[in-house]
Amino acid sequence: NAGVTQTPKFRVLKTGQSMTLLCAQDMNHEYMYWYRQDPGMGLRLIHYSVGEGTTAKGEVPDGYNVSRLKKQNFLLGLESAAPSQTSVYFCASSYAGWRLAGGRRQETQYFGPGTRLLVL
Amino acid sequence: DQQVKQNSPSLSVQEGRISILNCDYTNSMFDYFLWYKKYPAEGPTFLISISSIKDKNEDGRFTVFLNKSAKHLSLHIVPSQPGDSAVYFCAASFNSGGSNYKLTFGKGTLLTVNP
């Protein structure tokens, strides 16, 4: 049980290049999320998905696109990278069920290890 | 508009003493609160949570206290250990009646536990 995995771990892009970040989870979670973390800014939600084939915008969606073709995968795309997109990107997933074992509610999200992206 | 605030960017404590991390929120609709711990170069990991129907939740050395009237929660770590040195994020959510549950995060507090 690997939990949430992210590919790649680190990437350097030139301005204008495109790339796709891959997130995979093996916990059968319905919900998946993409965040970015910048110094002094905490975690900010980019896009999220409440199920296969559905996506929605988060707090900072501009410049990113996402797709959820399979339940276990959530892709984050940068069509034309900009230096402002230099950041650490985290994927997370969570259940949609009403109640979990131990009373932990479904908002509990489980995070991947992150992808560090540098745009020059 | 920052709905979840962690006003202390950093905190330093001695090993064996108590660490108290604070979090304030402004949205009275929030009804579930979580603490995450993050080591460098790793993703955040869930630590402990509390529902708004409670005012305290304890898990081993970690206790979260919720003061709804003050819109304030705190995480107590007793005793603190060097391995607790990490960034701690406070997060909050509310059930909007829909099927999507989003978390709002604070900016984090860097805890350093000195041996």
Query: Mean pLDDT across chain A, nearest whole number?
Result: 91
Mean of pLDDT values over A44-57: 93
Q: Minimal CA–CA distance to A23: which of A118, A101, A109, A119? A: A109
Reply yes or no: is the peptide bond before residue B79 cis, omega within 30 of 0: yes
pLDDT of residue A100: 53
Query: Which residue from A31, A58, A108 is facing B34, i.e. has the nearest CB?
Result: A108
Residue of A nearest to B5 (CA): A42
pLDDT of residue A108: 81
pLDDT of residue A82: 96
Higher pLDDT: A100 or A65? It is A65
Distance, CA of B65 to CA of B72 (rounded, Å): 8
pLDDT of residue B85: 98
Distance, CA of B86 to CA of A52 (rounded, Å): 34
Q: Predicted confidence band at A2 (pLDDT cuts at 50, 70, 90)?
A: confident
Residue of B nearest to A106 (CA): B101
- Sites in chain B below the pLDDT cut of 70: 96-100
Q: Do residues B11 and B74 make contact, with C-beta atoms less than 8 angstroms apart?
A: no
Q: A39 at the B interface (CB within 8 A)?
A: no
List CB contacts (< 8 A) between A94 and chain B: 101
Taking the CA of residue B113 and the nearest CA in chain A, the distance in Å comes to 21
pLDDT of residue B93: 87
Q: Predicted confidence band at A41 (pLDDT cuts at 50, 70, 90)?
A: confident
Q: Please state, as a whole number, how many other Cβ atoms lie within 10 Å of the Cβ of residue B93.
A: 23
Mean of pLDDT values over A88-95: 94
Contact A45 B102 (CB under 8 A): yes
